Amino acid sequence: MTRPPLSATRRSVLRASLSLMTGATALRVGATSRAEAAQPNRLSGFQTIAASRPAPIIGTPTMIVAGTSGPARWAPVLAPAFSEALPTDGLISVQSSAGRDGVTGANKFESQSGGETITTLLVPGAAILAALAGSSRVHFDYQRWLPVFLSVGSPVVIGRVNFRRSFRMFLGDHPVRIAVSTPDGPELPTLLAMTILSMRPVPVSGLASSEAALDALRKGEVDVVQLPAAAAQSDMLSSLAQEGFEVLFALGQQADSDLPDFASRYMALRGHAPQHPLYQACCSTAAAAGMDAALVLPMLTPPAQTARWRHAAQLAALRPDVMAMAKAGDTRALAGPDVATFYRSLTPDLSGVLALRRWLAERSPGWRSG
């Protein structure tokens, strides 16, 4: 057999090498194409898994119910409402705290904040009033709390008072007896309002309920009473008007009410807006007196948790049982941006706080001595 020429052999080797290289390239291209084709399927699978994961669990929150007034009424409605709206692993645990004005419960909340699970506080405005007045029982700072839900109304001041200017009024010696639970209790804004109107308020203590205050008014034992929004219904006001007791002013403004607020009443009587050093304190204490209940979080609550609770509050405010509770108490259920706006009104500036406490320090000895 004749041996092929060397050049032919080289050509065969080159052809074989080229074929191997072409085949390997084709294999790589095919593998790459199959991988790219499979990529969307893998991404879709990851997205499906992520979407199927449950919402994060926040444990079992605790709700401290401070006081025996508004918070005690609201807790049976708000606890299940927030339990449904939040990704909890059980119903919110409710802990009742003794004390009518909520100060004891607020102190307890302040000492328990910062645990592994969220602790919330359902507190009445009376606890805020005690803090504004500088009560020694207060061991909390309500300005550090994060409000998420509020129930607010407008207390109404009713009585028989002669506001006409006189020399006696100019001297600040026109006494007006006011029914109060305690001088620094929910009726504090009425005491301040009478002072701004150049009256000398004389608190008659121990009349904590609306029934007791109205009974004292009818018997002539007091001149003025402050009724909570729930008690100041139109039929009650009409009945009192027939007995000669008029609505002096409302401590706050309601969108659907034609009752004058204090600023409007003052303008009608004096011809100008209030400019008294106690006016800021009067406005803040009036807002606190009208706050039926507030649900607040601790200051150090993480932002994501705070946002989750605020969203739950907006959902809760739309529930029929929550709206029915607010209507029964003649209050408004606030959630969302309105909460922060109202809560800021609870705090006067430093000059207002100092004016309030100086006024209390001057008047309290005389009130205690009778």
Label the pairing between strands 119-123 and 156-159: unpaired
Residue whose tokens read 């072409």: 22
pLDDT, residue 154, reads 92
Tell me the per-residue pLDDT of 86-124, one tens digit each, with 9 for 90 and over.
998 888 999 999 888 999 999 999 988 666 678 999 999
Instruction: Write the pLDDT tens digit of every residue in 141-154.
Output: 999 999 999 999 99
Average pLDDT for the chain: 84
What is the number of other CB atoms lying within 10 angstroms of the CB of residue 338?
14
Domain spans, the chain: 62-152+290-335, 156-283+352-369
- pLDDT of 34 > 60? The answer is no
What is the DSSP pairing of strand 156-159 with strand 224-227? antiparallel
pLDDT band at 25 (very low <50, low <70, confident <90, very high): very low
Same fold, 62-152+290-335 and 156-283+352-369: yes
Name which CATH class applies to 62-152+290-335: alpha beta
Q: What CATH number belongs to 156-283+352-369?
A: 3.40.190.10
The highest-confidence range among 59-68, 72-81, 233-242, by mean pLDDT, is: 72-81
Query: pLDDT class for 174, splitting at 50, 70, 90?
Result: confident
pLDDT at residue 342, rounded to an integer: 96
The angle, 0 to 180 degrees and rounded to 10, between the axes of the packed helices 303-317 and 70-85 is 110
Cα(118)–Cα(90) distance, integer angstroms: 13
Structure tokens at 306: 């705070």
Q: How far apart are CA 31 and CA 179, in angstroms?
A: 89
Q: What average pLDDT score do residues 332-356 get?
A: 95
Token look-up 């009409």 returns 238
Q: In this model, does residue 351 exceed pLDDT 50?
A: yes
Average pLDDT of 284-302?
95
Question: pTM above 0.85?
Answer: no
Q: Which of 325, 304, 306, 299 is nearest to 79 (CA)?
A: 325
Exposure string for 267-286, b = 16+ CB within 10 A, e = fewer: eeeeeeebebebbbbbbbbb
Q: What does the pLDDT look like over 35-76, one tens digit per residue? A: 444 444 443 443 443 344 445 577 889 999 998 889 999 999
How far is the first Cα of the chain from the last one, in angstroms, to the nearest whole number? 141
What pLDDT score was predicted for residue 172? 54
Q: Do 294 and 334 contact (CB within 8 A), yes or no?
A: no
195 Cβ contact partners less than 8 Å away, ≥ 6 residues apart: 201, 276, 278, 359
Reported residue count of the chain is 370
